[in-house]
Structure 1
Amino acid sequence: MSVSSGSSNALGDYLRDRRTRLDPATFGYTGSRRRTAGLRREEVAQRSNISPTWYTWLEQGRGGAPSADVLDRLSKGLMLTEMEREHIYILALGRPPEVQYKPIEGVTPRLQKVLDAMAHSPAFIKSATWDVLAWNRAAAAVLTDYGKLPVEKRNILRLMFGQSSLRAIQEDWESVARYVVGSFRADVARAGATEAIKQLVDELSASSPDFKRLWIANDIAAHHEGVKRLHHPDMGLLQLEFSAFAVDGRPELGMVVYNPVSSEDTEKVQALMERSRAAASADR
């Protein structure tokens, strides 16, 4: 019985290819003559904690589809990357593996350069749990100067429900808050991070009746694009069109970019950035 799709034995062919690419010496398998490259089947089976017979059957396309547990063992035994692990799931089961959320602490310098290249468009990168990991100067000047906050406070939900100044400048705080909570819930579920945000949800539910009410409502929203309207105490109404993007190859990250709606809005962003730059120079 074939366990593959697209060829007579796509999974077996792929496992065999990965096996023959591994250097036996790396794993301490030395001292015996080898007629073929890579690890032997029994060596992969040993590393994957499955029987040699079962592994042989998998390469031969016999025995039916392996379980998710077996595929995870094979991924470790063959030292597969996350992308390669996802590939064998699709070959064997016709679906990707369940999401395994892993918290992260920062972004690459290349991603930071992408943010910095948007001179007058506030932009930031957030995690699946909505921690702000990186931002540009425009975001610091217009939205929040995240660099002045402790790392644990750089969370969009904490800011939304914990800072009265942010609440005051929103044109329709109730609608914005409902949208934020619904989008947050969707991102967390998509990333498999439900357990990771339990403490945050408990804290906010205890400190903010508004958050508790919106969280209990169980609404879901799509965080893709829209218009943010801020009533700045000095600049007046500031309108920003926002778009949310996935970071290719980093499904746990999302980029949000705010573009001024009009030339007048652009001038207001520039003025706020100049003010921020002057304040930073005065502090030195």
Structure 2
Amino acid sequence: MTASLTSHDFSGTLDRRTQLADFLRSRRMRLSPEQVGLSSTGRRRTQGLRREEVALLAETSTTWYTWLEQRRDIRVSGPLLDRLALALHLDAGERLHLFALAGLPLPLDTALHETVSAAVQRFIHGLHDQPAYVLGRRWDYLAWNRATELVFGCRVAAEHNVLRRMFLDPARRQLYTDWNCAAAGMVARFRSDCAPYIGEPWCAALVEELSTTSPEFRRLWLQHDVKGSPDGLKDLQHPQMGRMMFEHLVLRLPDAPGLGIVVYTPLPDWDTPAKLRKLLQAAQEQEQQS
């Protein structure tokens, strides 16, 4: 006979402190001293690392770490959680879970190098009939599929920053039926996205460069408009296919803050799906002939 589980069975266990303590204890118990570079001396009464060993690796006091596993009401910081994540060999998903249980946002990665996982690469390339690309926190194209190349003109050797393409590339100006409206919306969305990075050298350099080289960008930037909505419409005038209409959506990656997958769905307006199929078919035939 299987006992039924009700919410009462979990009373007192689904609070944040208990879950955090249990999670840390479970990760500590799965590691051996040898795995973290410590020597195993003396008889060990419990499985895994001792609390004092975790505290040593995380550069904190044994008392503080013990209190954390005892569900004490103590303050935690992002840097300390990061040291715990390293000490316990947490992967990206486990690190995200640790910060969530502690009630803290995942720290922003300010490193210049950005990577796209193989799974994300496969996902965007699997969208054969929809333009899709990965947008980095600096608004660089990090990866894209064939449909994106054909609609937006992305190439390996081309400028990969979306803002530079928008304001400095004459071809990109011709792609939008209403460039002024599209540019205003883009700057407003970038201002919203870059807010966490204000003060970072790359952000200041990009804004200064575009403000110097593009009067339109400077004017829009000084308006301080903000648009946080990740979806919207793209009304395009494609050089080969003519008018095309897409709906775009940004999918955020929880374990990679600042990165997003932008997916464009062709809408029935102006026979966009059929035009996109013609583009893809023509490109495929050209590749087969070459």
Q: TM-score over 0.5 for the alignment? A: yes
Residue 34 (structure 1) shift: 1.1
Q: CA 1:64–1:223 in structure 2 vs 1: closer, same or farther (change >3 Å)?
A: closer
Conservation of the 8 A alpha-carbon contact between 1:242 and 1:259: yes
Q: Distance in 1 between matches of 2:106 and 2:274?
A: 47
Q: Single out whichever of 240-249 and 204-213 deviates more from structure 2.
A: 240-249
Paired amino acid for 1:38 = G
Residues 5-20 of structure 1 mapped to structure 2, 5 A cutoff:
6=15, 9-20=18-29
Structure 1 gaps of 5+ residues are none
| 1:77 corresponds to 2:77 | no
SS, match of residue 116 in structure 2: coil
Paired amino acid for 1:243 = L
| 1:236 corresponds to 2:242 | yes
SS, match of residue 138 in structure 2: coil
Conservation of the 8 A alpha-carbon contact between 2:251 and 2:262: yes
Q: 1:272 aligns with which of 268, 274, 279?
A: 279
Show the counterpart of 2:49: 39
Identical pairs, percent: 37
SS, match of residue 147 in structure 1: coil
Q: Distance in 1 between matches of 2:198 and 2:256?
A: 15
Q: 2:62 aligns with which of 37, 42, 52?
A: 52
SS, match of residue 15 in structure 1: helix
Residue 267 (structure 1) shift: 2.9
Residue 167 (structure 1) shift: 0.6
Q: Distance in 1 between matches of 2:186 and 2:172?
A: 13
**Cα deviation 1:13-53 (Å, max 9, x = unaligned):** 33222222211122232232211111122212211222222
Residue 163 (structure 1) shift: 0.4
| 1:221 corresponds to 2:223 | no
Q: 1:182 aligns with which of 182, 188, 191?
A: 188
Q: Distance in 1 between matches of 2:17 and 2:230?
A: 41
Q: Single out whichever of 32-41 and 56-65 deviates more from structure 2.
A: 56-65
Residue 131 (structure 1) shift: 0.9
Show the counterpart of 1:252: 258
Aligned residues: 275
Q: CA 1:70–1:148 in structure 2 vs 1: closer, same or farther (change >3 Å)?
A: closer
Q: Distance in 1 between matches of 2:16 and 2:70?
A: 13
Q: CA 1:62–1:148 in structure 2 vs 1: closer, same or farther (change >3 Å)?
A: closer
Q: CA 1:16–1:217 in structure 2 vs 1: closer, same or farther (change >3 Å)?
A: same
SS, match of residue 29 in structure 1: coil
Residues 202-213 of structure 1 mapped to structure 2, 5 A cutoff:
202-213=208-219
| 1:172 corresponds to 2:182 | no
SS, match of residue 109 in structure 2: coil
TM normalised by structure 2 equals 0.81
Show the counterpart of 1:142: 151
Paired amino acid for 1:269 = L
Show the counterpart of 2:206: 200
Q: Single out whichever of 223-232 and 138-147 deviates more from structure 2.
A: 223-232
Residue 137 (structure 1) shift: 1.5
Q: Distance in 1 between matches of 2:16 and 2:205?
A: 47
Q: CA 1:32–1:114 in structure 2 vs 1: closer, same or farther (change >3 Å)?
A: same
Q: CA 1:21–1:43 in structure 2 vs 1: closer, same or farther (change >3 Å)?
A: same
Q: CA 1:248–1:147 in structure 2 vs 1: closer, same or farther (change >3 Å)?
A: same
Residue 161 (structure 1) shift: 0.8
Conservation of the 8 A alpha-carbon contact between 1:239 and 1:260: yes
Q: Distance in 2 between matches of 1:118 and 1:213?
A: 37
Show the counterpart of 2:142: 133
Paired amino acid for 1:58 = L
TM normalised by structure 1 equals 0.82
Q: Distance in 2 between matches of 1:252 and 1:230?
A: 26
Show the counterpart of 2:105: 96
Structure 2 gaps of 5+ residues are 1-12
**Cα deviation 1:203-227 (Å, max 9, x = unaligned):** 2112111111112222111343222
Q: Distance in 2 between matches of 1:7 and 1:271?
A: 54
Give the aligned CA root-mean-square deviation in angstroms: 2.9
Q: Show structure 1 runs of 4+ deviating over 6 A.
A: none
SS, match of residue 156 in structure 2: helix
